[in-house]
Amino acid sequence: MLIFKEKNAMQFKISKIVCAQYVFLAAIFLIGCSSKQEETSKEKVVTPVTQKVVEKETTKVVNTVSYGVQIGAYKKFDAEFTSTVKKVEVNGLQHYVLGNFATVKEANNLQKILMDLGVKDAFVVKLENNKIVKF
């Protein structure tokens, strides 16, 4: 039994020494990390400022011509649509136009469809810069 106690006491002392070594190494590591300070140079970087002159571009206004189908014109009906229905005001009347076609033929196809659906007063109009013009 005495040998067993001496063996346990020896293991206990060894474990205390190993633990103390770990604590010592950790303390050295922490002290080493905190004492390292990187020296930073405080050079001022001066960037030259240049003024760039931007010339104003002149844009030429191009007349946009398209064709659509007018489905109605009203004096007292003023509504905004979120769909592709355009509202064009001419002489106090609100004209409502469907479509935005490059050719009259495409607008005529839509007019035929609308007339088949029962919109008998639909007709093709020419739009120039979103204004109705005669053609």
| Burial profile 122-133: b = 16 or more Cβ within 10 angstroms, e = fewer | bebbebeeeebe
84 three-class SS: coil
Strand ranges of the sheet holding 131-133, from the earlier edge strand across to the other edge: 85-90, 93-101, 65-74, 123-128, 131-133
Predicted local confidence at residue 2, as pLDDT: 47
115 three-class SS: helix
pLDDT, one tens digit per residue, over 54-77 is 777 777 767 789 999 999 999 888
Residues 71, 100: Cα–Cα separation, whole Å? 14
Q: What is the DSSP letter of 90?
A: E
Collect the ranges in the chain with pLDDT lower than 50: 1-2, 18, 23, 35
Predicted local confidence at residue 96, as pLDDT: 92
